[in-house]
Structure 1
């Protein structure tokens, strides 16, 4: 079963306080769900149509584990803290090649 990568890019942060409240809860929930943070921050360099947006990449042992983490009570609490309209982001799960 290939590893899965939870990839999020933040196109806009309208409420930094809401994002901070989310991060305080999301980090422990993701770690408890088996996630391993690989990337978190702004691009060091962009090319072609690359956007200078905050990017987060989290590794999971499988797609099932990534989905279970996202759907967990702890992560759902983090989403409630984030609220609606406070950030514009793109989130996806991508399976690795092996």
Structure 2
């Protein structure tokens, strides 16, 4: 089994996720999806190193990351849904109106 290729895939997924957060400043749903992609790539790295080292702790951390990502997604989508009902748009550049 070639762990380097799995690690390369996880690093590329992380770069795509961070790039999606940095480059996309208009749609909050795409930003949340990019954050989820970055979290899942970190979870994949934990799994890869857990198998390489023969330790179970990486797999336990990966499960915790998946649980936290699911909770973050549900809360984030609930906030987006309420914001869309109030404002009629989910653009990030219009989110500064929430400060008042």
TM-score (normalised: structure 2): 0.27
Greater Rg over alpha carbons, structure? 2
> Structure with the greater relative contact order (CA < 8 A, sep ≥ 6): 1 or 2?
1
